[in-house]
Amino acid sequence: MKRVEIQNNIRYNERLVSEFQSQVNSYQQKINSLQSQIRSLYSQKSNYISKSNDLKKQISELNQLKKKYQNLQTNFSNRQSKRISKFNANFSQKLNVNFIRAYISDMKNLLSGSEYKKAYNGLTAAKDKIDRQVGSLQRQSDEYQKKASNTQREIDSKQRSINSYQSKKSNANSNLSYRRQRITYWKNQLRYATD
């Protein structure tokens, strides 16, 4: 083979080496960029999960508080029922004394009237407020969980892209290695070239 042909083969392979090296570098830059983005996304995901967990803790504490209100309301109602029963048992017969009748009437109003209803309804209102707050916090927690899931999908997508680029980089490295071997081969052939 002539020296010019061998030198052309060397130059051809050197051009291919340059192209493959450029591809390898490009793929590596893309991989590095994606890995950086993934690290940032993991940080975001962790932040979302942390916020969701904090909200769930608040929800748990509010539910415990609501249970205490429910117990208080039940105990309050039970005590009130016992008071009314005792009162009715003590004053079940008809009394003719005006003072006693007025006392009985006022006590009935006190035990089952507006003050009791205000207190009972106040406990109900407190439980309702807790329920609304729990609902609001649950929606926020669900939103953070949704963001964490979406972020994980984005991470998975970027990881698939990294895998694809790594495969392409591996192929380019194989081609690069082959072309370097061909350059070495052709340089060795220069010894046997004819002019």
Taking all residues of the chain, what is their mean pLDDT, rounded to a whole number? 90
Residue with tokens 């967990």: 53
pLDDT digits (tens, 9 = 90+) for 72-91: 999 988 888 887 777 777 66
pLDDT digits (tens, 9 = 90+) for 127-169: 999 999 999 999 999 999 999 999 999 999 999 999 999 999 9
pLDDT at 86: 77
pLDDT at 101: 63
The Cα-based distances of 134 to 80, 124, 140 in angstroms read 30, 15, 10
pLDDT at 7: 95
Could you state, in order of their start, the residue ranges of all structural domains in the chain? 3-192
pLDDT at 110: 66
Is the separation of the CB atoms in 128 and 66 below 8 Å? no
The Cα–Cα gap between 98 and 94 comes to: 11
Instruction: Work out the average pLDDT over 162-185.
Output: 97
- 117: amino acid identity, one letter: K
Residues pairing with 194 in the sheet: 2
Instruction: Work out the average pLDDT over 93-100.
Output: 60
pLDDT of residue 121 exceeding 60, the answer is: yes
Which tokens in the block code for residue 79? Answer: 């005590």
CB-based burial label for 89 (10 Å; 0-12, 13-18, 19+): exposed
124: which residues sit within 8 A by CB, 6+ positions away? 73
The Cα–Cα gap between 192 and 59 comes to: 84
* pTM of the shown model: 0.74
pLDDT at 112: 67
pLDDT at 91: 61
pLDDT at 141: 97
Longest dimension (CA), the chain: 145
CATH architecture group of domain 3-192: Orthogonal Bundle (1.10)
pLDDT at 119: 83
Instruction: Decide which of 137 and 116 is more confident.
Output: 137
